[in-house]
Chain A
Amino acid sequence: MQCEAFEQRLNQLLDRRLPVEADDRLLAHAHVCGPCRRLLQGQRLLLETLQFGETPDTSGDFSREVVSRHVTQQQLAQQESARRQAELRRSGARRLVRTVSAIAALALIAVFVTAWSSRRGGEQDGGRPRTAIAEAADSGASRHVQQNSAALPAMDVATLVAVPADYELYQDLFDIFEQSPLEAGDARTPHGQRRDAAMESGATASSIANADSLGTVEQHDQYAMLLDDWRMRLAEMPAEPLQVEQITGGLKPITEPFGVAFDLLRQTLPGENLPGQNLPVEKPQARRRPRLDNARFS
């Protein structure tokens, strides 16, 4: 038997908890091999020491201490559990109170919003919204338009154009252009509109003014005469402000003093209505624009 086989055999016996002294093959090899003999003696000694070796005993009240510790820990755990449950109940009650408060607050807000919106709806005039700005514009800013409202039942503010104050004086200048009607919704100046409309050949006023090849000589001469006459009269025209300014869509002219406009705006706020007044509170942008009758300029 080799030393390696001896070690394997020894381990096999020890694993099966069999006595090593009863194995003849091991003893025979241990008899002739010094290291293996020491190994065998060492194993036997080690296991005997482990089994019969003196082990100090525990203290006398070891078991009682263990049980006492366990019972104490259990009581502490129960107290902690009870405390947590009580805290959970308290927090649950607090959460319930918070939820009810939140629901009540939401209900109050909903009632307030509903009342406010219904009051606002009642202030509308027959379903057609009117605003303080519109009121102001009707009474002040668009006074000029209002004066001619009989002739202008529907006016589109976006199509308003700048017209000289003494527009009527120069009416005869544009007679030659009466042959061609204006295009509806054309936002250019009346002079330009009429000028372009008069170009039957398709040439534009600018092309004639620039002496482009598109315009005929006769048209060019007519227009040149017209321009000369216009310039001569223009020098004699007094410098007066325009009656109606051309503004971009969405903006409304405010001709009243700023204080009046501010008061009007303030009255649009909820609860700011003066006693006895029933001013609408609609946003200015929501105002309906009257349509412009283009026949006014024809």
Chain B
Amino acid sequence: MSDELRILIRRSLAGSQDAMLQLVEHFRGRVFGLCYRMLGHRQDAEDVAQETFVRMLRSLARWDSTREFEPWLLAIAANRCRTALASRKTRPAPQTLAVPVEDRSGDLQAAEHLNEEMMLALASVRDEYRQAFLLFHQQQLSYAEIAESLDCPIGTAKTWVHRARKELIEALSRRGVFEEKQYAVRSV
């Protein structure tokens, strides 16, 4: 963990709102990305991300400074996502409005299409598999950190990631993604 981050945390603990702002800004993208991939809904993801950061600031004093900060924060986010998914089962799922895709260049449209397909595939796998997969491939956490975040053995975390990979490929194959033209995904 960088010294800059340690200073930010210490100042936040002292009550500096500016430090809190910088701390949230530093991890905003990663936490929101995880929530968005987990929930598949922008507004829900933003709500859960906000809740994650509020909880992080509230329990900052209980954070063990000998451990990494990011896995601890992502564990909070993963727990909040699980809670949101559990509560979503008791109420109607949010429906995304069908937004007409603009007529842009072919590559960009293909990338958006592929992104949507991947979101659908992610939504089809079990929550634990999706969580472990995203923490490993999106957040680049190690299996030990994933196991700590999800409170499970390392072997279980590894199994979840492998099954997520397999089920995602199967889901994308069922939707005929690979039979279409070969996509080339580039950073935009």
Chain B residues lying within 8 Å of A48, measured Cβ to Cβ, are 185
Chain B residues lying within 8 Å of A54, measured Cβ to Cβ, are 111-112, 115, 188
**Does B168 interact with chain A (Cβ within 8 Å)?**
yes
Contact B54 A73 (CB under 8 A): yes
Tell me the complex Cα distance, A69–B161, Å. Answer: 35
Among B111, B112, B185, residue most surrounded by chain A Cβ atoms (within 10 Å): B185
Chain A residues lying within 8 Å of B57, measured Cβ to Cβ, are 66-67, 70
**Does B53 interact with chain A (Cβ within 8 Å)?**
yes
Tell me the complex Cα distance, A55–B185, Å. Answer: 14
Which of these binds chain B: A38-46, A155-163, A202-210, A247-255? A38-46
Contact A11 B20 (CB under 8 A): no
Chain B residues lying within 8 Å of A14, measured Cβ to Cβ, are 165
Question: Interface 1/0s, chain B 104-141, versus A by CB < 8 A?
Answer: 00000001101100100000000000000010011010
Contact B178 A38 (CB under 8 A): yes
Interface range, B side: 35 or more
Report B119 CB to chain A, min CB distance, Å: 9
- Which chain B residues (162-188) contact chain A, with CB distance < 8 Å? 162, 165, 168-169, 172-173, 177-178, 182-183, 185-188
Known contacts A49-B115, A52-B188, A73-B58; A58 and B183 CB within 8 A of each other: no
Contact B168 A46 (CB under 8 A): yes
Known contacts A39-B169, A63-B28, A66-B53; A52 and B58 CB within 8 A of each other: no
Contact B185 A49 (CB under 8 A): yes
Contact A53 B165 (CB under 8 A): no
Chain B residues lying within 8 Å of A46, measured Cβ to Cβ, are 118, 165, 168-169, 172
Chain A residues lying within 8 Å of B183, measured Cβ to Cβ, are 45
Contact B185 A53 (CB under 8 A): yes
Contact B186 A43 (CB under 8 A): no
Residue of B nearest to A77 (CB): B58
Contact A62 B165 (CB under 8 A): no
Residue of A nearest to B36 (CB): A55
Which of these binds chain A: B42-50, B77-85, B86-94? B42-50
Chain B residues lying within 8 Å of A52, measured Cβ to Cβ, are 185-188
Known contacts A11-B162, A46-B172, A54-B115; A71 and B17 CB within 8 A of each other: yes
* Cβ-neighbour of B173 out of A38, A63, A65, A73 (below 8 A): A38
**Does B5 interact with chain A (Cβ within 8 Å)?**
no
Report B182 CB to chain A, min CB distance, Å: 8
Tell me the complex Cα distance, A73–B143, Å. Answer: 35
Contact B169 A66 (CB under 8 A): no
**Does B71 interact with chain A (Cβ within 8 Å)?**
no
Contact A70 B28 (CB under 8 A): no
Interface range, A side: 35 or more
Tell me the complex Cα distance, A258–B19, Å. Answer: 97
Chain B residues lying within 8 Å of A41, measured Cβ to Cβ, are 178, 182
Question: Interface 1/0s, chain B 1-35, versus A by CB < 8 A?
Answer: 00000000000000001001100110011001100
Chain B residues lying within 8 Å of A51, measured Cβ to Cβ, are 137-138
Contact A56 B178 (CB under 8 A): no
* Cβ-neighbour of A43 out of B158, B161, B165 (below 8 A): B165
Contact A70 B118 (CB under 8 A): no
Tell me the complex Cα distance, A41–B183, Å. Answer: 10
Known contacts A11-B162, A14-B165; A70 and B112 CB within 8 A of each other: no
Residue of B nearest to A48 (CB): B185
**Does A148 interact with chain B (Cβ within 8 Å)?**
no
Contact A70 B58 (CB under 8 A): yes
**Does A277 interact with chain B (Cβ within 8 Å)?**
no
Which 8 pairs of residues, A with B, have the shortest CB-CB distance?
A48-B185, A63-B24, A42-B169, A66-B53, A70-B57, A53-B115, A52-B187, A67-B20
What 14 new A-B contacts, CB under 8 Å, besides A53-B114, A67-B57?
A38-B173, A42-B169, A42-B178, A45-B172, A46-B172, A50-B118, A51-B137, A53-B115, A63-B28, A66-B20, A66-B24, A66-B54, A67-B17, A73-B54
A to B CB contacts below 8 Å, 30 in the list: A11-B165, A14-B165, A17-B140, A38-B178, A43-B165, A43-B169, A45-B172, A45-B185, A46-B165, A48-B185, A49-B115, A49-B185, A52-B188, A53-B111, A53-B115, A53-B118, A54-B111, A54-B112, A54-B188, A57-B29, A58-B49, A62-B28, A62-B50, A63-B24, A63-B53, A66-B24, A66-B50, A66-B54, A67-B21, A74-B58
